[in-house]
């Protein structure tokens, strides 16, 4: 079907994408990296007013086009106040699991240099015993960057409006598992990059549009405008959002409540909070998976949504599906995925594009 995928290259790209800081509305570094990966392989690429990166590979037939989407942003925070002693208060951006915040390492990158800090709160020794076991509201948390004053913080570029995120380094774990931050949705970004590389020298039957969209984590915003433009110009026939999704194969979760499982292949969504997936797209994905012996699983219906929720409502409507990489502990600084699920998702999406030649 396509050339053998360079697994080491995919894993190294996952590491690089994971380590980048790209909080919603501040995705520029991620976008520039993606451009460096794809520019030699595409017929056209551009960045729109929303910061969405779009690219096109022209097909061989006079058909409507296909659309692949992934979002470049990650959840994070924005600094809202710095006190006289240099401690920074913040507001969350995106859907954090607030239980994990206290004591976490954070990063910011003002003026192109990375600074590290720690999320702190009043120590338990100085609060009433009745308060010690209660959740700490975000407004009572602060970030300690090690500054001695507000002036020192501002001199280092940390000020109101600076964005950052919780930080966890990338590691390869036993059994082919990968750990890092921002796999939601740098996994999807990786899938699109590698799929583009896989098809660039093939006689693809459909023009294929790629959209690395911004601000998904705060309301599917970038995909609304990118899908509108691409559909208007290229007449999109079908779309697929590539994502990271919840794997809950951990102690205490009933099988019928587990959205997906690590190591069981890429996940095909049937329904979520933002969309009922197109039967036509689902059937094509299943056909490709079975034709090429690609392990896959269905997402047990659960909460959450993806860019497909915006794309499928674009203009007169676009039939959409979602292909995801299952990940434990998403929306935290430490997501774990199985490299084989990531490779499987690349194969499934690549096959989906190339298999249109049989129509």
1-56 residue pLDDT tens: 667 789 999 999 999 999 999 999 999 999 999 999 999 999 999 999 999 999 99
41 - beta bridge partners?
none
Compute the average pLDDT of residues 240-256.
93
Say which DSSP state 146 is in.
S
Give yes or no for a contact between 345 and 324, defined as CB atoms under 8 angstroms apart.
Answer: yes
On the question of pLDDT at 80 being above 60, the answer is: yes
The pLDDT value given to residue 303: 77
Q: For the chain, give the mean pLDDT.
A: 93
Q: SS3 of 213, please?
A: strand
The pLDDT value given to residue 8: 95
Give yes or no for a contact between 216 and 304, defined as CB atoms under 8 angstroms apart.
Answer: no
Give yes or no for a contact between 13 and 37, defined as CB atoms under 8 angstroms apart.
Answer: yes
Question: Which of the residue ranges 44-48, 151-155, 203-207, 213-217 would you say has the lowest mean pLDDT?
Answer: 203-207
What are the CA-CA distances from residue 249 to residues 186, 235, 261, 328 (Å)?
21, 40, 5, 8
Cα angle 175-177-180, degrees, rounded to a multiple of 5: 155
Compute the average pLDDT of residues 101-119.
94
Reference 209, options 17, 69, 41; nearest CA is 69
Q: Widest CA span of the chain, in angstroms?
A: 71
Tell me the domains of the chain and their CATH numbers.
Answer: 7-74+181-358 (3.40.630.10), 76-164 (2.40.30.40)
Compute the average pLDDT of residues 97-102.
87
Tokens of 313: 């409502």
Q: Which residues are catalytic?
A: 216
CA of residue 326 relative to chain centroid, distance: 12
Reference 60, options 205, 233, 234; nearest CA is 205
Tokens of 38: 């794809």
The pLDDT value given to residue 320: 97
- Count of all residues that appear for the chain in the document: 359
What are the CA-CA distances from residue 252 to residues 186, 257, 297 (Å)?
28, 10, 21
On the question of pLDDT at 256 being above 70, the answer is: yes
98 vs 119: CA distance, rounded Å:
12
Tokens of 212: 């690395």
Give the pLDDT band (50/70/90) at residue 130: low
pTM, full prediction = 0.95
Segment holding 342, helix H or strand E: helix 339-354
Strand-pair category, 297-299 with 267-269: parallel
Tokens of 252: 């205490």
Q: Angle between the 7-19 and 339-354 helix axes, to the nearest 10 degrees?
A: 110
Quote the percentage of the chain above a pLDDT of 70.
96
Give the pLDDT band (50/70/90) at residue 357: low
List, in order, residues 6 or more apart from 151 with CB less than 8 Å away.
Answer: none
152 vs 131: CA distance, rounded Å:
33
- Cis ω before 128 (30° cut-off from 0): no
pLDDT per residue over 296-345, tens digit each? 999 977 778 899 999 999 999 999 999 999 999 999 999 999 999 999 99
Give the pLDDT band (50/70/90) at residue 63: confident
Reference 186, options 33, 84, 321, 351; nearest CA is 33
């Amino acid at each position: 079907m396509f050339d053998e995928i360079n697994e080491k290259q995919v894993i190294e790209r996952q590491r690089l994408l994971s380590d980048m800081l790209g909080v919603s509305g501040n995705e520029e570094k991620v976008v520039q990296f993606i451009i460096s990966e794809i520019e030699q392989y595409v017929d056209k690429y551009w960045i729109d007013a929303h910061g969405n990166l779009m690219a096109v590979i022209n097909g061989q037939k006079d058909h409507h086009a296909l659309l692949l989407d992934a979002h470049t942003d990650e959840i994070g925070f924005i600094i809202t106040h710095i006190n006289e002693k240099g401690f920074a208060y913040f507001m969350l951006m995106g859907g954090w699991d607030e239980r994990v915040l206290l004591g976490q390492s954070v990063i910011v990158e003002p003026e192109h240099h990375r600074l590290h800090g720690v999320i702190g709160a009043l120590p338990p020794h100085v609060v009433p015993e009745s308060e010690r076991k209660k959740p700490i509201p975000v407004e009572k948390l602060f970030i300690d960057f090690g500054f001695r004053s507000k002036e020192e913080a501002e001199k280092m570029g940390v000020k109101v409006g600076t964005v950052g995120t919780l930080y966890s380094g990338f590691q390869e774990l036993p059994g082919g598992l990968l750990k890092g931050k921002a796999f939601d949705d740098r996994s999807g970004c990786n899938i699109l990059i590698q799929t583009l590389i896989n098809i660039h020298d093939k006689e693809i039957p459909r023009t294929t549009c790629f959209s690395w969209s911004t601000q998904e984590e705060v309301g599917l915003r970038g995909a609304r405008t990118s899908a509108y433009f691409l559909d208007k110009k290229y007449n999109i026939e079908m779309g697929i959002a590539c994502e990271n999704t919840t794997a809950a194969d951990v102690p205490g979760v009933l099988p019928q409540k587990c959205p997906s499982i690590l190591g069981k292949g890429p996940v095909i969504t049937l329904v979520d909070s933002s969309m009922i997936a197109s039967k036509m797209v689902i059937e094509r994905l299943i056909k490709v998976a079975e034709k090429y012996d690609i392990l896959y699983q269905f997402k047990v219906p659960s909460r959450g949504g993806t860019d497909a929720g915006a794309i499928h409502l674009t203009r007169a409507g676009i039939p959409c599906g979602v292909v995801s990489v299952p990940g434990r502990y998403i929306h935290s600084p430490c997501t774990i995925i199985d490299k084989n699920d990531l490779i499987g998702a690349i194969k499934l999406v690549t096959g989906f594009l190339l298999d249109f030649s049989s129509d």
